[in-house]
């Protein structure tokens, strides 16, 4: 079983890459969002410094405005992810072996949706934004993917990624649930 082109496109839209080799399945989170935001923050810091040099109160005002703008943006960008699944060894490694799980330690896979924000757009089907999290149920819940959705209910492609992980990590549980 592999992921469809639509599911891979959905992952790429959310900043994840997917690579399935013979012995390993690899998911990576691209860091381009963080890099772009960091560059904009550096440019803003330069302008704030110029405002401080001209008038201290203008610099302070610019600092407050920058804080109000960048704080929610920084909170919304998920961290980096490197998820390597080795089905032959029945092992899952997260972030270059900083967290390693045997398939026996994993009780299951979860998918959860939560409302994040409302916005206005002519290109979207709703005015809502939901964050769909797919993760592991081990000793505690370990989020793997944080995906953006227009609807509270996960899309067909998100459910496909969920089912794919479930079939690899716990195939006996996936077949008994079907």
Residues 58 and 108 placed together within one structural domain of the fold:
no
What was the pLDDT predicted at 100? 86
**For 107-128, what is the mean pLDDT?**
77
User: E-assigned strands of the chain?
Assistant: 16-20, 25-29, 82-86, 91-94, 99-102, 108-118, 128-137, 141-149
Segment among 94-103, 134-143, 158-167 with least mean pLDDT: 94-103
Residues 63 and 110 placed together within one structural domain of the fold:
no
Residues 69 and 123 placed together within one structural domain of the fold:
no
Residues 94 and 151 placed together within one structural domain of the fold:
yes
Residues 12 and 64 placed together within one structural domain of the fold:
no
Q: Provide the number of structural domains found in the chain.
A: 2
In the chain, what's the furthest Cα-to-Cα distance?
A: 69
What was the pLDDT predicted at 80? 61
What was the pLDDT predicted at 21? 86
Residues 25 and 37 placed together within one structural domain of the fold:
no
Residues 37 and 105 placed together within one structural domain of the fold:
no
What was the pLDDT predicted at 33? 65
CA angle 48, 49, 55 (to 5 degrees): 85
Residues 64 and 88 placed together within one structural domain of the fold:
no
Domain that includes residue 15, residue range: 5-31+80-177
What was the pLDDT predicted at 29? 82
Could you tell me how far CA 84 lies from the centroid of its own chain?
A: 15
Q: Which of 59, 76, 93 is the last residue of a domain?
A: 76
What was the pLDDT predicted at 176? 39
Tens of pLDDT, residues 12-60 = 888 888 999 888 999 988 766 677 788 888 999 999 999 999 999 999 9
Residues 167 and 84 placed together within one structural domain of the fold:
yes
pTM for this structure? 0.69
Residues 120 and 72 placed together within one structural domain of the fold:
no
The pairing of beta strand 16-20 with beta strand 108-118: unpaired
Residues 124 and 164 placed together within one structural domain of the fold:
yes
What was the pLDDT predicted at 32? 63
Binned at pLDDT 50, 70 and 90, residue 78 comes out as low
Residues 129 and 104 placed together within one structural domain of the fold:
yes
Cα–Cα distance for residue pair 114/146, rounded to 1 Å:
11
Q: Is the pLDDT of residue 151 over 80?
A: yes
Looking up tokens 């008038």 gives 55
Binned at pLDDT 50, 70 and 90, residue 85 comes out as very high
What was the pLDDT predicted at 177? 42
Binned at pLDDT 50, 70 and 90, residue 77 comes out as low
Tens of pLDDT, residues 156-171 = 999 999 999 999 987 6
Considering only residues 177 and 125, tell me which one the structure prediction assigns the higher pLDDT.
Answer: 125
């Amino acid at each position: 079983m592999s992921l469809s082109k639509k599911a891979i496109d959905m992952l790429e839209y959310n900043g994840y890459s997917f690579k399935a080799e013979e012995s390993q399945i690899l998911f990576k989170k691209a860091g381009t969002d963080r890099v772009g935001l960091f560059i904009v923050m550096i440019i803003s810091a330069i302008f704030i410094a110029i405002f401080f040099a001209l008038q201290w109160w203008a610099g302070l005002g610019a600092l407050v405005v920058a804080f109000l703008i960048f704080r929610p943006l920084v909170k919304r960008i998920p961290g980096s992810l490197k998820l390597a699944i080795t089905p032959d060894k029945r092992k899952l490694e997260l972030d270059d072996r900083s967290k390693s799980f045997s398939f026996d330690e994993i009780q299951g896979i979860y998918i959860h949706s939560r409302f994040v924000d409302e916005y206005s757009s002519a290109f979207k089907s709703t005015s809502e934004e939901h964050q769909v999290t797919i993760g592991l149920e081990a000793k505690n819940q370990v989020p793997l993917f944080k995906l953006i959705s227009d609807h509270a209910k996960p899309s067909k492609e998100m459910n496909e990624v969920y089912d794919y992980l479930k079939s690899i990590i716990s195939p006996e549980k996936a077949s008994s649930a079907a």
